[in-house]
Amino acid sequence: MFFPRRQVLRTLSFAFGSSLLWSRKQLGMAAQTDVQPKTSPLPAETAAGDGIAGGAEMEKVLGIGGLFFRAKDPKALGLWYQQHLGISLTPSSEGGSVWEQEAGPTVFAPFPETTKYFGDAQKVWMVNFRVRDLDKMAAQLQAAGIEVKIYPPDPTGRFARLHDPEGNPIELWQPAKPAAPR
């Protein structure tokens, strides 16, 4: 069974396995096919279009600074994420600490409006959390009465799906360990 997640993560694997400086066309081609596009020096007009004109690299964001979404009961939902996934809530007083995520790959991928990947067609977002040990995380959630579906491993790692109390889809991802050098 083919999942869009695999397509996105395959694209990342291609990107990190070769030149990290791809044009939008090359990246799009990698996302649509199983074949890694051939990389070559970018023409001047492409470099300018990608914000790399004159040898100066475009300023980019550093990462995701927050995830904000509507909830029927924000307080209860925030506590659920804190209790079951260990995500600290926004501090309510000075000196409180925010959730700090570990450095690692982050996939940013808009999906077509008609995707069935998120489940309920009314849900417009899904969050994917990286985990160290998928089996331990799934067991912890199941012990709390939360249904977790674990998928067969694929080359990018292992995945599981669950839903928060408001029905929002959550994906857990234990990335594949890099192959040992030969």
pLDDT score of 97: 87
Closest Cα partner for 131 from 163, 103, 173?
A: 173
| Residue 171 in this model has a pLDDT that exceeds 80 | yes
* Over residues 36-59, mean pLDDT: 58
Chain centroid to Cα 31, Å, comes to 15
**Residue 37 CB neighbours (<10 A):** 17
Computed over every residue of the chain, the mean pLDDT equals 79
On whether the CB atoms of residues 163 and 172 are closer than 8 A, the answer is no
CA distance 111 to 117: 9
Integer-rounded Cα Rg, in Å, for the chain is 19
Q: What is the sign of the dihedral through the CA atoms of 67, 69, 75 and 79?
A: negative
pLDDT digits (tens, 9 = 90+) for 120-153: 888 889 999 999 999 999 999 999 999 999 999 9
What pTM was estimated for this model as a whole? 0.67
- How, if at all, do strands 149-150 and 157-163 pair? antiparallel
Residues 58-97: pLDDT tens digits? Answer: 998 888 888 888 999 999 999 999 999 999 988 888 888 8
Q: Measuring CA to CA, how many Å separate 52 from each of 26, 61, 105, 172?
A: 16, 15, 23, 35
Name the phi and psi angles at 70, rounded to 5. -75, 150
